[in-house]
């Protein structure tokens, strides 16, 4: 089930963006601050209706898809990590099952284990650190077993060990057939873990394709306006500036 944007425009944020995202792969959306990355992800989640163009899930317009069905198919993690209710962590993660109308233990337990937070299950949600909160909120998304995982900067609050563990889990989800779309500022994580990179600049697509092409030296220097070079082997590359 493809996720498709056709000539998508949202006032002052996106202009004429057309993309077809494939399930079973990881797509990284990269770009400078203000490039439109979060806006594009919100549009794919059905949270921002376009001023022009359309977003489709499979062969159906996303905004004509009933909200409950959309919630079963699309799991969205915003950039802001806020928890409104001081409930136990497990109860919060179980909210991911709401679109399915159940509280099945297996997907909840799997999500808690995947994010290494099973030992936090009985903790109050508002007692968590920033990194713990980020992992709990992503576990809520994963517990819903969505066909598409849309995550805005999911690595930002995590230490390096949990970043790598999360990336491994997202790779497993993609290998099992889910579509994974990540907004990432860390270009090395995008280069080493994504199957495809979409680079946005001032609301337009500046590059789109395999990581080696979309994040080559010329693209980065043109879009981010800093001199760079890649070092290391494929899958283990680091970006050096200057």
Query: DSSP character for 233?
Result: -
81 has pLDDT over 90: no
Residue 80 confidence (pLDDT) above 90: no
Average pLDDT of span 134-144: 94
Q: Is the pLDDT of residue 242 over 90?
A: no
Residues in the chain: 242
Number of domains, the chain: 1
Mean pLDDT of the chain: 94
The pTM (predicted TM-score) of the whole model is: 0.94
Domain limits at 16? 3-241
Q: How far is CA 53 from CA 56, 80, 92, in A?
A: 10, 27, 35
Does residue 130 register a pLDDT over 90?
no
**Which domain CATH number covers 115?**
3.40.50.300
82, pLDDT greater than 90: no
162 vs 184, residue with greater confidence: 184
182-197 pLDDT, tens per residue?
999 999 999 999 999 9
| Among the ranges given (34-43, 98-107, 156-165, 226-235), the one the predictor scored with the smallest mean pLDDT | 156-165
Give the pLDDT band (50/70/90) at residue 7.
very high
Q: Please check the confidence at residue 39 and state whether its pLDDT lies above 90.
A: yes
pLDDT of residue 57: 94
Q: 130-143 vs 160-175: helix axis angle to the nearest 10?
A: 10
5 Cβ contact partners less than 8 Å away, ≥ 6 residues apart: 17, 18, 19, 20, 40, 43, 44, 53, 54, 55
Spatial contact of 30 and 70, defined as CB atoms under 8 Å apart:
no
Render pLDDT for 46-62 as a digit per residue (tens, 0 to 9): 999 999 999 999 989 99
């Amino acid at each position: 089930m493809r996720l498709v944007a056709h000539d998508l425009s949202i006032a002052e944020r996106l202009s004429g963006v057309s993309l077809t995202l494939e399930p079973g792969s990881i797509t990284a959306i990269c770009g400078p601050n203000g490039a439109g990355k979060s806006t594009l992800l919100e549009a794919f989640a059905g949270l921002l209706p376009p001023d022009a163009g359309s977003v489709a899930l499979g062969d159906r317009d996303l905004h004509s898809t009933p909200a409950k069905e959309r919630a079963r198919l699309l799991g969205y993690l915003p950039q802001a990590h806020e928890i409104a209710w001081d409930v136990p962590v497990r109860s919060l993660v179980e909210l991911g099952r709401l679109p399915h109308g159940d509280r099945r233990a297996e997907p909840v337990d799997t999500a808690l284990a995947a994010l290494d937070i099973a030992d936090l299950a009985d903790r109050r949600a508002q007692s968590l650190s920033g990194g713990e909160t980020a992992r709990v909120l992503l576990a809520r998304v994963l517990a819903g077993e969505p066909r598409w995982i849309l995550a805005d900067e999911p690595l930002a609050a995590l230490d390096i060990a949990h970043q790598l563990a999360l990336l491994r889990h997202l790779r497993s989800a993609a290998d099992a057939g889910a579509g994974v779309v990540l907004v990432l500022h860390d270009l090395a994580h995008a280069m080493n873990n994504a199957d495809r990179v979409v680079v946005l600049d001032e609301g337009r697509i500046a590059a789109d394709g395999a990581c080696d092409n979309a994040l080559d030296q010329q693209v980065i220097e043109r879009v981010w306006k800093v001199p760079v070079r890649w070092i290391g082997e494929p899958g283990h590359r680091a970006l050096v500036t200057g």
